[in-house]
Amino acid sequence: MPSTATTLEAPALRSFSFGGGWQSTAALVLAARGELDYRLFLMANVGNDSEHPGTLRYIAQYAAPFAKAHGIELVLLDHVMKRSGQVRTLYQDLTRPGSRSLKIPVRMSNGAPGTRSCTASFKIKVIADELKRRGATPANPATVGIGISLDEIERANKRRCESHECIEYPLLELGIRRADCARIIRSAGLPVPPKSSCWFCPFHRPEAWHDMRRSDPELFEKACQLEELLNQRREELGKDHIYLTRFAQPLSKAIPDGVDTLPFDEFDSGCDSGWCNT
């Protein structure tokens, strides 16, 4: 007689894209309480030399121990080169000798943002590869939670996913705003994390650059040096200068020492994908 046994497909994988900021840390707390159905949080680490140092410190001191204490798997994933198997960070990619790469959304001489591939290469693909490794397929896609809050609903875009992923926005479904995230985090006895991003991200608002210059002058100077390096290479190629702000000036001039901007400067919308700054 023919066998009637059937192969049972593994349950669909559920994961949350962890950015280390307010929204994803709030989601971690809600998952620990059982209010969100995620036991796997994946962070695509663009590099220990690229992620903002404050974010990495917060994860090591608070988020990772909290996740472990509540039986949640929080994994930091590196960007690994397929051919060599070596880890490459975003900062390394920008500064390696002979590199013409401009994966970050630098500002062109007219103030408009240039094209970028940092999110796709160093965030989306890294998490997508890990989900494949864990068994996600187009026939049995993994669910990926993205930490977009209600006041940033315009950033939600379900089309931006791989064939073996299904994107969802649990904070939107719960009607949670950014201010609610801070309250949720504090209710778990955790401090509120700093805003997550690469320290050299051209999507920083002016007040973020001013804060960096004031509170972390060495990191600000490193950003200035990166901008100078990129422009040296563009000069060698006969191309116009690029900038890390919209002001079409070198960073050190665009963000003068001792001068602040209004805290509600909302000109720059930031990364709209939801894979960063959450």
Which residues 6+ apart lie within 8 Å of 99 measured at CB?
A: 93, 233
* Of the listed ranges 66-70, 96-100, 130-134, the one predicted with least confidence: 96-100
pLDDT above 90 coverage of the chain, percent: 73
Classify strands 142-145 and 73-77 as parallel, antiparallel or unpaired: unpaired
**Is pLDDT of 236 > 70?**
yes
- List the Cα angle 102/108/114 in 5-degree steps: 50
3-state secondary structure the chain: CCCCCCCCCCCCCEEEECCCCHHHHHHHHHHHCCCCCCCEEEEECCCCCCECHHHHHHHHHHHHHHHHHCCCEEEEECCECCCCCCECCHHHHHHCCCCCCCCCCCECCCCCECCCCHHHHHHHHHHHHHHHHCCCCCCCCEEEECCCCHHHHHHCCCCCCCCCEEEECHHHHCCCCHHHHHHHHHHCCCCCCCCCCECCCCCCCHHHHHHHHHHCHHHHHHHHHHHHHHHHHHHHCCCCCCECCCCCCCHHHHCCCCCCCCCCCCCCCCCCCCCCCC
Q: Are residues 178 and 234 in the same domain?
A: no
Query: How far does the chain reach from its first CA to its final CA, in angstroms?
Result: 56
- Residue 41 has, within 13 A of its CA and on its CB side, a CA count of 28
pTM: 0.88
Task: Examine the pLDDT at 81 and tell me if it is beyond 70.
Answer: yes
The answer on pLDDT for 7 being more than 60 is: no
Number of compact structural domains in the chain: 2
Quick one: pLDDT at residue 113? 80
In a domain, 224, yes or no: yes
Out of 147, 177, 198, pick the residue that ends a domain.
Answer: 198
> Which residues form the domain of 32?
14-198
Is 230 found in the same domain as 165?
no
Give the range among 1-5, 9-13, 32-36 with minimum mean pLDDT. 1-5
**Do 211 and 102 share a structural domain?**
no
Q: Could you tell me the CATH number of the domain that includes residue 41? A: 3.40.50.620
Assess whether pLDDT exceeds 90 at residue 278: no
Q: Specify if 272 maps to a domain.
A: no
Task: For 102-131, write each residue's pLDDT tens digit.
Answer: 899 999 988 778 888 999 999 999 999 999
